[in-house]
Structure 1
Amino acid sequence: MKLLAVTELLFSPFKIAFLILWFYLCMYLVQRFEFNPLIGGRLKVWTNVLMLFAAPVVLLLAFTYAVFKKVEETGASVAEAAVTTFGHAIRTIKRTALGGARGSSSIILLDPSGKSINEVYGGQSKDDNAKKTVAVAERLIGDAVELLASDILINPAENLEYDIRFRVDGVLSPYREIDSNICGALVNSIKAISGMDISEKRRPQDGAFVAKVPDGTVSFRVASAGILHGEKLSIRILNQKLAPQTLPDVGMDERTCRIVRDVLNRESGMMLLCGPTGSGKSTTLYAMLREIDFYTRNVITIEDPVEYVLTGASQIEVNPKADITFAKALRSILRQDPDIICVGEIRDEETASISLKASQTGHLVLATLHSSSNSASLVRLMDLGISPLLMASGLDLVISQRLVRKLCNNCKKVARLDGPHKQAFLQKNIDPVSIYVPVGCNKCSDTGYKGRIAVFDIMVIDNEVKNKISEGKITIAGSTKDDQQMRSNLQKQAMKLAVAGITSLDEVKKVTSQG
């Protein structure tokens, strides 16, 4: 009887199931790391030993932490958070398992001349190191494109590793850490395919490459710089399929669309888009250009770089190495009978002056400028040396904009507002049920957000404003006051999006904190 009791204790169905689960978890993680090119050979033995004994415990602790963190962030129940977290874990495992097999069959990296990365970097290798490097590069670029990232940052750290991060919807998030030996080869492969000198580690360089993916072609711009612990790479992703088609697509309401379209239908004048770096100015500019009939109007653009192809428009890319600057390109296209001139960015006095003068000689000019507000744009132009009279006579419309992230429609849930916040919304005749918070799912990579939308503050340069500019009444003090008004206007627009369930209250707060 005692022997039978001991046998039942040792081989109970629960324990057998637990041991089988433990075994398969260990075996999965061992093979996962054994064939992973991101882990050096000298580390694989110790990694496998660790996975055999500690992996299930570590996974359980990580799962528990993730569940309670999601409960704290979203206010969901423990059961809801557990289901969401478990689903995310399963999707991550599937993506990881399929990632290594995706390889070059679904993405092909090409240099500017059309040669593949295997020809440029891995074609002459006698061992598997170059092939592994190419596989890592293809996987990195493929994951970035799949996640709709706008930038890839490869940064050397002091612990003999490289940090790789993606910028998705304006937010940087970690992708993974890679051993310096492997990532050094990865950096060289990307530099080689971008037409850069792989032997030069300190001097900043620029390059470009393209990737063929199943649904089209994606362009990349690469910039390198030597920093303290090694060489840093910044890769900008220019994905043609992400280009907006209309002004409402970028977030313009009916009133703003009407004002912008009125200016676009004019024969001459100038419209200026302003905002900090990464505020979506170029995207809005392309949406404006798509409102124009390219067959009845001669449209010429000057860009750095050309981000999206506009069929019917003549697009010029700035190239300082070939002595093609904004100012020189602008002077040359004035002799090509343009109806509409688009200047990607005003950076100096010469470009600003030519643009404003062109707007007075029968051309419609669209341009962008880095500044914090509409009034700050006018001050910036004066700082560049533009006379107030030229500004007043040339400008028709100035637009400031910021971006807010859109809630994922697949997983957003009604916010649980506390008493004071709920009462504040009720006093403004706003139903608190219309306010949503992010949750996270497979559709949004568990961020709770998917895509971005712009909010705008417009300044129509009417006769009253023109007189104010020409009389020199635009000052830094006045600009600061207008900045506060601009933030108030942007916050009101963002709040409308929150009430409509498009964005969250956290994103509304960010609008007022952006410079």
Structure 2
Amino acid sequence: MDKKLRLGDLLVDTGKITQEQLSQALAYQKQKDVRLGSALVELNILTENELIEVLEFQLGIPHISLYKYPIDEKVINIITSTVAKNFSVMPIKVQDNRLTLAMADPLDVVAIDEISDSTGYEVDPVIAAPDEIKQAIDNHYGIKETVDKAMENLKSQQQNVSDDMLEIDTLKDMVDDAPIVRAVNSILEQAVMEGASDIHIEPREDNLQVRFRIDGVLHDIMTSAKSTQAVIISRLKIMANMDIAERRLPQDNRFQTEIKGKQIDIRVSTLPTIYGEKVVLRILDTDSLILDVNKLGMSDTNLEKFKKVLNYSTGIFLVTGPTGCGKTTTLYSVLNQINSSDQNIITIEDPVEYRLDGINQVNVNTKIGLDFARGLRSVLRQDPNVIMVGEIRDKETGEIALRAAMTGHLVLSTLHTNDAVSTLNRLADMGLPPFLISSTINGVLAQRLARKLCQQCTGIGCKKCNETGYKGRVAIQEMLVMDDSLREALQNNASTSKLKEIALQNGLITLYQDGIDKVSQGLTSKEEVLKVAYGEGIK
């Protein structure tokens, strides 16, 4: 590559722009203080793709998508955020003393020479779209820059800030300082803005890693110095009203904070690991809660069955599936559907995730002996019409729930099973009598969440979906309605395979089939269905 060649000259020489257009872009560049490539795009003289094509095909410089490229977090510290922003570059890899640098303008000799001189690495430029570079800088330097500034301020005030075993009184003073408050708030804000469901803050041997779970997938967000560990984790524990002196035992609590004008509930869980306390924050955004049963993503057939089951005033309705599959959201939508002034609805949850108007919600508290079974017994003395039990975890809770259903109550709850039919045998395996199960269960909904194809690019990859091809999630469901044939088979101790055979004869749509139907509708991909449906229905 000719290091003396400039972008403007190359574009004129290849006939992509005229000398007049170059002059116009240079004037705009000076006026707006932007790079020449950005000026050409903003003036609609060229598109980003046209710019990239010239550089890639005329000069043989590789083009990459930063949305798809896994950036090594260890290289982020090689250049500062100021250098990255000034030159519109992003370091992505180091190998054999060579730094691979994503650049909006790979002909920028000044940038290449300055970065090479300051880092000691030979620079190998690759082309990336300016918007992708900006997004990468925001993602990888945004939080990190705030955290680093906070630590610099703290170091000027405190000694031994890197010690993970700082005195508790010292830590309490430090975590209330404005810099660390801003640092933690920036992590929370970015997570909410990106639609994350969980934040993982994980201590490693030499650093602290931050990851977000977005649409069910964990993404690396930031790797921070080990010295940030004690203050960041202690700040979160104080926000959640936890004991910051207790680092040997797991703790759970929650707090509420305002982000971009919205009240956000955050559930906090700590876990002691060999490198320090790991913290997971579950983000509960009430604005994203679906309370309309018509918007749960059910097929017309499943929705019809679902609504039929909801018309019963007694019996049990169960939602089943792994953690994070939307069971609570579905049950809350059911409560919202049946909630009225003539109903006494009581829930027992561990913990209460969202607060619902007009519904009496009880938090399980095992520390004082208030578990699901004890709470359920007490609720039955409160003249309820509808009872929601967060989970049937044992025989005692299951037996009380079934007997409550037999005595004129509608009971809603969840279980962890692979599909709807196996739920019936799972209850029997707990030691619950088959006659009691068969006479009280109205229906079972098995549910999974699959990544949804980006509706803007239909899975190809675009800026909206960070080039992943997916944006949001879609529910895949299996709706089982109990009938006489299933009840009779269950009372005769039929196997799960026999029960499933009967259910299929009666029109059951399996998880796999519902997923394939949603593939045909362009909502998700077969790969996503196979991830969550385990090939159910493939014979």
Q: 1:151 aligns with which of 183, 198, 209?
A: 198
Does the 8 Å CA contact 1:121/1:130 hold for their aligned counterparts?
Answer: no
How has the CA–CA distance of structure 1 residues 320 and 63 changed in structure 2, closer, same or farther, with 3 Å as cutoff? same
Structure 1 residue 482: deviation in Å?
Answer: 9.3
How has the CA–CA distance of structure 1 residues 390 and 291 changed in structure 2, closer, same or farther, with 3 Å as cutoff? same
Structure 1 residue 355: deviation in Å?
Answer: 0.8
Residue of structure 2 in register with 1:116 after alignment? none
* Deviation by residue 1:222-274 (Cα, 9 ceiling, x = unmatched): 11111122211111111111100322312112222222222222221111111
How has the CA–CA distance of structure 1 residues 254 and 13 changed in structure 2, closer, same or farther, with 3 Å as cutoff? closer
TM-score (normalizing by structure 1): 0.73
Alignment partner of 1:305 is 2:351? yes
* Deviation by residue 1:262-304 (Cα, 9 ceiling, x = unmatched): 2222221111111122221111111222211322322111111
Does the 8 Å CA contact 2:486/2:499 hold for their aligned counterparts?
Answer: no
CA distance in 1, matches of 2:324, 2:172: 40
Residue of structure 1 in register with 2:469 after alignment? 448
CA distance in 1, matches of 2:142, 2:186: 10
Alignment partner of 1:392 is 2:414? no
Structure 1 residue 89: deviation in Å?
Answer: 2.0
Residue identity matched to 2:194 = L
Residue of structure 2 in register with 1:174 after alignment? 220
Structure of greater relative contact order (alpha carbons < 8 Å, 6+ residues apart): 1
Of the structure 1 ranges 130-139 and 140-149, higher mean CA displacement relative to structure 2 is found in 130-139
Does the 8 Å CA contact 1:438/1:504 hold for their aligned counterparts?
Answer: no
Residue of structure 2 in register with 1:472 after alignment? 493
Q: Is there any run of 5+ residues in structure 1 with no aligned partner, and where?
A: 1-8, 26-38, 66-81, 104-119, 413-436
How has the CA–CA distance of structure 1 residues 361 and 281 changed in structure 2, closer, same or farther, with 3 Å as cutoff? same
CA distance in 1, matches of 2:451, 2:481: 27
Alignment partner of 1:277 is 2:323? yes
Counterpart secondary structure, 2:474: strand
How has the CA–CA distance of structure 1 residues 212 and 463 changed in structure 2, closer, same or farther, with 3 Å as cutoff? same
Counterpart secondary structure, 2:255: strand
* Deviation by residue 1:444-472 (Cα, 9 ceiling, x = unmatched): 34433222121111221111111111111
Residue identity matched to 1:376 = S
Give the 5 Å matches for 1:325-340.
Answer: 325-340=371-386
Structure 1 residue 361: deviation in Å?
Answer: 0.8
Q: How many residues align?
A: 428
Residue identity matched to 2:367 = K
How has the CA–CA distance of structure 1 residues 514 and 165 changed in structure 2, closer, same or farther, with 3 Å as cutoff? farther
Residue identity matched to 2:265 = S
Counterpart secondary structure, 1:231: strand
Structure 1 residue 359: deviation in Å?
Answer: 0.8
Does the 8 Å CA contact 1:404/1:507 hold for their aligned counterparts?
Answer: yes
CA distance in 2, matches of 1:483, 1:262: 17
CA distance in 2, matches of 1:262, 1:487: 15
TM-score (normalizing by structure 2): 0.70
Q: Is there any run of 5+ residues in structure 2 with no aligned partner, and where?
A: 11-28, 36-72, 93-98, 105-125, 148-167
Q: 2:133 aligns with which of 89, 94, 107?
A: 89
Structure 1 residue 352: deviation in Å?
Answer: 0.6
Residue of structure 2 in register with 1:137 after alignment? 184
Residue identity matched to 1:371 = T
How has the CA–CA distance of structure 1 residues 84 and 352 changed in structure 2, closer, same or farther, with 3 Å as cutoff? farther
**Percent of aligned pairs with the same amino acid:** 33
Structure 1 residue 377: deviation in Å?
Answer: 1.3
Misfit runs of 4+, over 6 Å: 9-13, 52-55, 95-103, 120-124, 479-488
Give the 5 Å matches for 1:414-429.
Answer: none
* Deviation by residue 1:137-157 (Cα, 9 ceiling, x = unmatched): 111111111112111111111
Residue of structure 2 in register with 1:499 after alignment? 520
Does the 8 Å CA contact 2:449/2:473 hold for their aligned counterparts?
Answer: yes
Does the 8 Å CA contact 2:346/2:361 hold for their aligned counterparts?
Answer: yes
Give the 5 Å matches for 1:279-358.
Answer: 279-358=325-404
Give the 5 Å matches for 1:199-278.
Answer: 199-278=245-324
Residue identity matched to 2:365 = N
CA distance in 2, matches of 1:378, 1:302: 22
Does the 8 Å CA contact 2:339/2:345 hold for their aligned counterparts?
Answer: no
CA distance in 1, matches of 2:228, 2:253: 21
